[in-house]
């Protein structure tokens, strides 16, 4: 399916992140002009998870192999159904689908990363070619398999000095000495949403709960002393749900403070770690995307800790940048061009990841 002569692509990108907000679907156009990639988000929508799917996905890591594989297939058919509905609703004609799936296991130190959402099931359901399973080749090559978005940052958002994503986890990417550098910084919504849920909210809208809370310096210090934050700042490193369960949850469980106070303190922790990761870098423009861009209190705290200029883009870029970039990774896969950078993941070489189902 490789066709480098094609310079114009219409692709549906699918993304489901660790914060469990739902499935982001973005119909995007990509075109080459003077060797520079350009993009448009033509249609986009988020499909929230039903309580059934939330329960199934959250509990999947402890199920047996047969249940796991059945859910993988069922989830693929579910995604394919969403794509079909999206196509009909928006009268779309797409070249193919690029799906991130939903990460269940991410343990690159064991050469293991698993995203559910059978590509063959998606393809069968929506009758389009599908690119999926973007991470496993990089992990097999000794890389972290994450983050993958920096290729898109480099080729689609080069006018910004830094690209900061505030999703389930915070990650940043930027150019340094001719190479793209990127890494996960700390957890964000995967922790803050869970705290807000204790008070009966899906998330802390605008950061209002955190804003009303009191800062616990003891708790803040304990968060900041976690070993991960002592690693070499710019080295390839990634975070997953397992890391949060092992490192963050036990600290939270020790403190009998209000949810507002917990959110206030965790917000400060996130802001501090993000500012630390950008420290000693030439002052520049920081593009902020992901659901955390709507957390006004968190943005305010990051601004207090850094002199870089934070830029909050339009709604589509905030909400669908990852779906857009996975659509773009699919384009690079179809062209057999590198869509995963060793400078970012630590793999043996740049690679072109993704399985194709025609």
- Residue 30 is predicted with a pLDDT of 98
Instruction: Return d(Cα 302, Cα 264) in angstroms, integer.
Output: 13
Q: What distance separates the 2 farthest-apart alpha carbons in the chain?
A: 61
Which one, of 188, 270, 253, 248, lies nearest residue 19 by Cα? Answer: 188
> Residue 14's beta-bridge partner residues?
25, 99
Quick one: tokens of 215?
A: 């800062």
pLDDT along the chain (358 residues), means of 10: 77 89 95 95 97 95 97 98 98 98 93 97 98 98 92 96 95 92 93 96 96 98 95 76 95 97 98 95 95 97 97 96 97 97 94 97
- Residue 240 is predicted with a pLDDT of 85
Instruction: Return d(Cα 127, Cα 84) in angstroms, integer.
Output: 8
Which one, of 94, 112, 113, 95, lies nearest residue 103 by Cα? Answer: 113
Q: Which regions of the chain does DSSP assign to beta strands (E)?
A: 8-16, 23-33, 36-47, 96-99, 102-107, 112-116, 129-132, 162-166, 169-176, 179-187, 285-289, 309-311, 355-357
Residue 217, Cα to own-chain centre: how many angstroms? 29
What Å distances lie between residue 196 and 49, 70, 260, 263, CA to CA?
Answer: 18, 32, 8, 8
Q: If DSSP codes are grouped into helix, strand and coil, which group holds residue 293?
A: helix
Q: What is the pTM of this model?
A: 0.89
Half-sphere exposure (CA, 13 Å, Cβ side) for 297?
Answer: 19
- Enumerate domains of the chain plus CATH numbers: 8-143+351-357 (3.30.420.40), 162-307 (3.30.420.40)
- For 61-91, letters b (16+ CB in 10 Å) and e give eeeeeeebeebbebbbbbbbebbeebbeeee
- Residue 26 is predicted with a pLDDT of 98
Q: If DSSP codes are grouped into helix, strand and coil, which group holds residue 107?
A: strand
- Residue 333 is predicted with a pLDDT of 98
Do 217 and 274 touch, CB atoms closer than 8 A?
Answer: no
- Residue 241 is predicted with a pLDDT of 87
Which one, of 117, 111, 146, lies nearest residue 132 by Cα? Answer: 117
- Residue 231 is predicted with a pLDDT of 83
- Residue 43 is predicted with a pLDDT of 98
Which residue do the tokens 């809208």 mark? 205
- Residue 3 is predicted with a pLDDT of 62
């Amino acid at each position: 399916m490789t066709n480098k002569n094609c310079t114009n692509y219409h692709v549906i990108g699918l993304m489901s992140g660790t914060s469990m907000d739902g499935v982001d679907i973005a119909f995007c156009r990509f075109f080459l002009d003077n060797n520079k990639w350009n993009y448009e988000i033509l249609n986009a929508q988020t499909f929230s998870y039903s309580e059934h799917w939330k329960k199934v996905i959250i509990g999947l890591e402890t199920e047996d192999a047969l249940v796991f594989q059945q859910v993988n297939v069922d989830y693929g058919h579910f995604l394919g159904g969403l794509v079909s509905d999206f196509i009909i609703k928006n009268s779309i004609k797409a070249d193919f689908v690029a799906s991130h799936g939903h990460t269940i296991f991410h343990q690159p130190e064991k050469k293991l990363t698993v995203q559910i959402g059978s590509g063959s099931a998606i393809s069968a359901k929506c009758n389009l070619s599908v690119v999926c399973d973007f991470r496993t080749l990089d992990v097999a090559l000794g890389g972290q398999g994450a983050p993958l978005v920096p290729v898109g940052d480099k080729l689609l958002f080069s006018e910004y000095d830094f690209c900061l994503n505030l999703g389930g986890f915070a990650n940043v990417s930027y150019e340094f000495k001719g190479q793209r550098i990127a890494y996960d910084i700390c957890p964000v919504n995967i922790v803050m949403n869970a705290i807000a849920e204790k008070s009966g909210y899906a998330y802390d809208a605008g950061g209002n709960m955190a804003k009303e809370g009191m800062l616990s310096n003891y708790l803040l210090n304990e968060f900041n002393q976690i070993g991960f934050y002592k690693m070499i700042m710019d080295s390839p490193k990634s975070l997953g749900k397992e890391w949060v369960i092992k490192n963050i949850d036990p600290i939270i469980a020790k403190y009998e403070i209000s949810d507002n106070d917990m959110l206030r303190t965790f917000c400060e922790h996130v802001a501090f770690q993000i500012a630390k990761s950008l420290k000693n870098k030439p002052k520049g423009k920081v593009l902020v995307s992901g659901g955390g861009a709507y957390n006004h209190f968190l943005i305010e705290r990051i601004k207090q800790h850094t002199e870089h200029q934070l830029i909050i883009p339009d709604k589509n870029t905030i909400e669908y940048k990852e779906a857009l970039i996975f659509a773009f990774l699919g384009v690079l896969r179809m062209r057999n061009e590198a869509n995963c950078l060793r400078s970012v993941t630590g793999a043996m070489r740049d690679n072109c990841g993704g399985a194709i189902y025609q």
